[in-house]
Each structure stands twice: as C-alpha cells, then as structure tokens.
Structure 1
C-alpha cells in the first residue's frame, strides 16, 4: 500500500484541524470557568460577611483541577505519560504485531 502525497497532506490537514478543535475546546472551557467562578465569588462576597472560608472556593478549586488536566491534554504536557512514553509504547505494539505477522509467513 503506497501513500501518496495527497494522502499525506490530507492526514496533516486532519491532524491540524483536530489540534485547532482541541485548542478551541480548551479556551471555551477556560472562558466558562472564569465567567462562572467570578459570578459565584462576587455573589458570595456581596452576600456574606466572612468571604474567606474554604467552602466558598470548593467549586473554583475542584473545577480548576479539571481545567488543569484539560490543559495538560491540550498542550501535550504530561510528566507521567509524555510523548516519549507514547512513542515507546507505539513502537512496542508495532513490534509485537510484526512478530505475530511473521508467524503466519
């Protein structure tokens, strides 16, 4: 099976579109996070006497953790399962498949 330049360019375009969609999704997530949490915190500030209590920041903190995970996925930062780890795992499975195919030859 030969790969043509057109196929290669189509794959590059697909990957680029996927990356743009991931970035857009992250920025929408970030924008909603900021708007909702500012609204919540301003509302708490205006309606309570003691603003600096832990329960007032639970949403900000919990959602912030989720946003941080979304950022690591979007921007490719992962200290545990980085690109090198992915490449090694992919290569490992390719080699295993080659060995399986060689058994049938």
Structure 2
C-alpha cells in the first residue's frame, strides 16, 4: 500500500510540474501579445503623426512590428520547450504515451 502512495505522489509531482510549465508558458504568451500590441500601436501612432507617409506608411513599416519577430523567436523556443514534439504528433501517439507513463513503476 505504501508503494501505491509513493507512486501516486510521484505522478502528482510530475503533473504539478507540468501544470507549472504550462502556466509559465501561457503567461509568457499573454505578456508577448499585450506588450507587443501596445508597442506596435504606439509606434504606428507616432509614425503616422510625424512621418511624411501618414498612416498607410506607418501601418506597413516593418520596424513597427520587428519586436514581434524577435520576441516571437523566443516564444517559438519556449513553445518547443513546453510542448516539444507533442505539437507535431497524433492524438493516438499521445494516448499511447499517457498509458506508458501511467504504467511506469
């Protein structure tokens, strides 16, 4: 019976760690979207006011969106670190792996 308790404790600890990883990832993604949206809007407004091309040029200026790209690379790494190859595999593979992990001693 003690062995069953230890097994459940280990499963709980792994599950808790996974939930923590997911929480951190979703928080990072939320901050990424909010901050980049605010910065892009700020840059577009400033460019539209002071630039010679007006709003149309400000909306198409890559510099106003470059932070999305560079920070997006970091998000891509974080995504891979959080989900790994699970992003690219089938549901049946996931179910087999869950069963495999649950059957581990």
Match of 1:11 in 2: 10
Aligned residues: 77
Matched, 1:62 2:61: no
Q: CA contact under 8 A between 2:22 and 2:82: conserved in structure 1? A: yes
Match of 1:33 in 2: 32
Report the TM-score, using the length of structure 2 for normalisation: 0.66
Displacement of 1:78:
7.5
Q: CA contact under 8 A between 2:21 and 2:82: conserved in structure 1? A: yes
Write out aligned runs for 1:86-105 (5 A): none
Q: CA contact under 8 A between 2:44 and 2:64: conserved in structure 1? A: no
Q: RMSD over aligned Cα, in angstroms?
A: 1.9
**Greater share of helix residues, 1 or 2?**
2
- Distance in 1 separating the partners of 2:15 and 2:30: 23
Runs of 4+ more than 4 Å apart = none
Q: Which runs of 5+ in 2 are unaligned?
A: 49-56, 88-105
Match of 2:91 in 1: none
